[in-house]
Amino acid sequence: MQRIFDSEPEVRAGAASLSAARVSRAADSAPLILALTRLSNDPDEQVRKAVSEVVRELRDQPLGPLRQLLGALIESPTYTHATPQLLIVLQNAKDKVDDLVDKAAHAFLDVHREEVSDIRTGAAADAHYIADLVVRGLAQASDAKRVSSLLDILDRLVELGGYGVDSAIESADRA
């Protein structure tokens, strides 16, 4: 693996893509998770895009075993490439994902803060999905600190004029 990490970006991207495709099906996913975690902070954007492919592979998969990897992706520069697919994966997850929702939503606001109210941007469309995810996270959260953190996200989205956030909150009130 060290030889791969020391190789050209094309080699690292190929290794990331292969690891992403296999991580949810591998008998021993630990080496793949370690590789993807390390490559998620790679200086080359092509490599980070290849790492983000892992999220697409996780649709309808149990997220528990990959919780550490997803947390690392959210905290890395790869997050910007993984966001749309990550939101879908979290929305459809059968696992309890309030911790990942909390991290992903905070990262989203850190990255796209200025764009959430501008309907010309993809971030504005994603703001509605973030609000829906936060509402889901609130339904799953069991400790006061997590609930407070998730409510802070909703407050920030409303404050920033996030597109579609009001309707997400209203639909949660009706549920």
Residue 26 pLDDT exceeds 70: yes
Residue 174 pLDDT exceeds 50: no
**SS3 at position 24:** coil
Residues contacting residue 93 through CB under 8 Å, at least 6 positions apart: 63
Residue 74 pLDDT exceeds 80: yes
Q: 112-155: per-residue pLDDT in tens?
A: 877 776 777 777 777 878 888 998 899 999 999 999 999 999 88
Contact status, residue 95 vs residue 64, Cβ threshold 8 Å: yes
The model carries a pTM of 0.85
Contact status, residue 101 vs residue 71, Cβ threshold 8 Å: no
Between the CA of residue 155 and those of 14, 108, 131, 162, what are the distances in Å? 41, 14, 10, 10
For tokens 């200086």, what's the residue? 43
Which amino acid is present at 31?
Answer: P
Q: 29-72: per-residue pLDDT in tens?
A: 999 999 999 999 999 999 999 999 999 999 888 898 899 999 99
In 3D space, the residue among 44, 49, 41, 155 whose CA is nearest the CA of residue 106 turns out to be 155
